[in-house]
């Protein structure tokens, strides 16, 4: 059987490799000139920039992925554990390094809230349980029927995992220190919503953060993509780049071919769409074959977009670690602005990554690779003037808080925001992370991984199960491959 996979992000690569491993003839069509989707890289003036993901969490998920093919992560790239895992900047002269060692982390929490150790232990015990059930079981379910979740044991597990309580309330049951609360609520930002709107199930992210640690593949996050492409090619996947899809031809209720903008046509027995789900529905399919209406999509809670800056600095930087979270502005009154407010926030949160601190290969000698990210609501106006305004806002804070001149030492600068996400990835409303993992957008309440009107068309990636983020995207590709195999035996 011939399978066409559209899109070479983590989910598309995962689906393609799983299917090729089991004997399917797989061709992967990629719109851009290089693989990786949002995890592409680019080189400029001796700097190597990861364009998107910069956090390596849940190493067990990557290990599991490669183990499906009798391989190890180390067969394709190296890993180092970061220590400190990251730094949180709460204000001037208030920098908190998050230690990799669990005992040291516990001592740090005690310094913020004396006597909190036993509460932290219980919080992490619950988080570990949620991680075990959630990441090793729930996320591998295709979520096509309620029956998948009706076993008595699983129902009991789901009750124990606090799916009907918000993360915000859950954290405050254990902690009163504002600093600890901010630290514990931070990881769910990867899920596309604030802690007030994310189920407490996702305290599993705290276990991933605190117990499993923060890692980095020397050479950059794109090394993961390079490894996955190498493995896919070993399994026989054929890659075609600069292959933007124009439309999917459907005949007698089946996708029979995929046509490129260039006019080239590829016959298919099965199509797996790893491109933006909304784009596939509204631009690649005729209206009668869509799963969902425009009204449905407009009501979805999207994960945020981002304003990104890729900067080359002609000196070494002080008072920064590999990962740095700037929480110097209070989140409270600005929280909704990150996700739903149709205006740019007045006092944005931001994140700075300096991978060259860990990895000298991503910047010329004596220089620094600086990546800045501002989370923003999707579907905002995006102009060069707004980008420059916010560049100066966050650079003012960065320079003041770290006590150094940065702007005058920047020798390379590139920005990236909503319009680029739309142009490069056809991202719905210019989102950066997919669909937010709210309670009403979890499991069977997410867009289905199977087209209901086209028998051989499937979806994978951040707009379907299990959700946003790199590890979930890896899992999404595996989940959809299992459904293809189940329904289309060779």
Mean pLDDT in residue range 203-211: 97
Which tens digit of pLDDT belongs to each residue from 41-59?
Answer: 999 999 999 999 999 999 9
Which tens digit of pLDDT belongs to each residue from 270-287?
Answer: 999 999 999 999 999 999
User: Based on the domain organization, do 306 and 295 belong to the same domain?
Assistant: no
- Whether residue 332 is predicted with pLDDT greater than 60 in this model: the reply is no
| Banded pLDDT at 335 (limits 50, 70, 90) | low
Which tens digit of pLDDT belongs to each residue from 389-403?
Answer: 999 999 999 999 999
Q: Is 384 exposed, middle or buried (0-12, 13-18, 19+ CB in 10 A)?
A: exposed
pLDDT at 333: 45
3-state secondary structure at position 2:
strand
Instruction: Tell me: cis bond preceding 466? Omega within 30 of 0 counts.
Output: yes
Structural domain including 377 reads 302-424
Which tens digit of pLDDT belongs to each residue from 96-140?
Answer: 999 999 999 999 999 999 999 999 999 999 999 999 999 988 999
Which tens digit of pLDDT belongs to each residue from 63-88?
Answer: 999 999 999 999 999 999 999 999 99
Does a structural domain hold residue 83? Answer: no
pLDDT at 50: 98
User: Based on the domain organization, do 227 and 157 belong to the same domain?
Assistant: no
Alpha helix ranges (H) inside 87-221: 102-112, 117-136, 152-160, 167-174, 178-185, 204-207
Higher pLDDT, 287 or 188: 287
User: Based on the domain organization, do 367 and 329 belong to the same domain?
Assistant: yes
Alpha helix ranges (H) inside 313-449: 335-339, 384-402, 418-425
CATH number of the domain to which 265 belongs: 3.50.50.60
Does a structural domain hold residue 185? Answer: yes
Look up the pTM and report it. 0.96
How many angstroms separate the CA atoms of 305 and 427, rounded?
Answer: 9
- Whether residue 337 is predicted with pLDDT greater than 70 in this model: the reply is no
User: Based on the domain organization, do 306 and 383 belong to the same domain?
Assistant: yes
User: Based on the domain organization, do 230 and 175 belong to the same domain?
Assistant: no
Average pLDDT of the residues of the chain: 95
pLDDT at 331: 59
pLDDT at 334: 46
- Whether residue 215 is predicted with pLDDT greater than 90 in this model: the reply is yes
């Amino acid at each position: 059987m011939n399978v066409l996979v559209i899109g070479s992000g983590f989910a598309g690569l995962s689906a393609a490799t799983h299917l090729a491993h089991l004997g399917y003839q797989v061709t992967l069509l990629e719109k851009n000139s290089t693989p990786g989707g949002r995890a592409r890289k680019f080189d400029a003036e001796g700097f190597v920039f990861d364009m998107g993901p910069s956090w390596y969490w849940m190493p067990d998920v990557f290990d599991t992925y490669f183990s499906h093919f009798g391989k190890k992560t180390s067969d394709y790239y190296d890993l180092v554990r970061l220590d400190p895992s990251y730094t949180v900047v709460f204000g001037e002269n208030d920098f908190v390094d998050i230690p990799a060692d669990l005992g040291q982390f516990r001592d740090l929490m005690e310094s913020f809230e004396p006597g909190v150790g036993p509460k932290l232990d219980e919080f992490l015990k619950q988080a570990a349980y949620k991680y075990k059930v959630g990441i090793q079981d729930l996320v591998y379910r295709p979520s096509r029927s309620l029956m998948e979740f009706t076993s008595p044991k699983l129902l009991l597990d789901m009750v124990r995992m606090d799916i009907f309580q918000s993360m915000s309330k859950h954290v405050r049951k254990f902690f009163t220190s504002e600093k600890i609360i901010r630290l514990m609520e931070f990881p769910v930002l990867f899920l596309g919503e604030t802690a007030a709107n994310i189920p407490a199930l996702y305290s599993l992210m705290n276990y991933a953060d605190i117990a499993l640690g923060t890692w980095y593949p020397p050479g950059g996050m794109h090394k993961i993509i390079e490894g996955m492409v190498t493995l896919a090619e070993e399994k026989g996947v054929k890659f075609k780049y600069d292959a933007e899809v124009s439309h999917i031809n459907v005949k007698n209720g089946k996708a029979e071919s995929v046509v490129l903008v260039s006019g080239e046509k590829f016959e298919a027995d099965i199509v797996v769409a790893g491109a933006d789900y909304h784009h596939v529905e509204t631009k690649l399919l005729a209206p009668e074959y869509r799963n969902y209406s425009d009204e449905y999509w407009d009501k979805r809670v999207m994960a945020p977009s981002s304003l990104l800056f890729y900067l080359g600095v002609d000196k070494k930087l002080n008072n920064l670690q590999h990962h740095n979270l700037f929480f110097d502005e209070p989140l409270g009154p600005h929280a909704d602005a990150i996700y739903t407010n149709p205006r740019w926030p007045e006092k944005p949160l931001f994140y700075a990554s300096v991978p060259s601190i860990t990895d000298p290969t991503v910047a010329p000698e004596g220089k620094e690779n600086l990546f800045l990210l501002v989370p923003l609501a999707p579907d905002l106006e995006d102009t060069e003037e707004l980008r420059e305004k916010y560049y100066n806002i966050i650079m003012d804070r960065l320079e003041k808080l770290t006590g150094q001149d940065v702007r005058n030492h920047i020798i390379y600068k590139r920005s990236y925001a909503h319009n680029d996400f739309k142009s490069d990835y056809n991202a719905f409303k210019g989102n950066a992370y997919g669909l937010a993992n709210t309670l009403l957008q979890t499991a069977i309440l997410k867009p289905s991984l199977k087209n209901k009107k086209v028998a051989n068309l499937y979806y994978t990636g951040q707009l379907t199960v299990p959700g946003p983020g790199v590890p979930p995207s890896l899992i999404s590709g595996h989940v959809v491959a299992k459904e293809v195999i189940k329904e289309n035996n060779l």
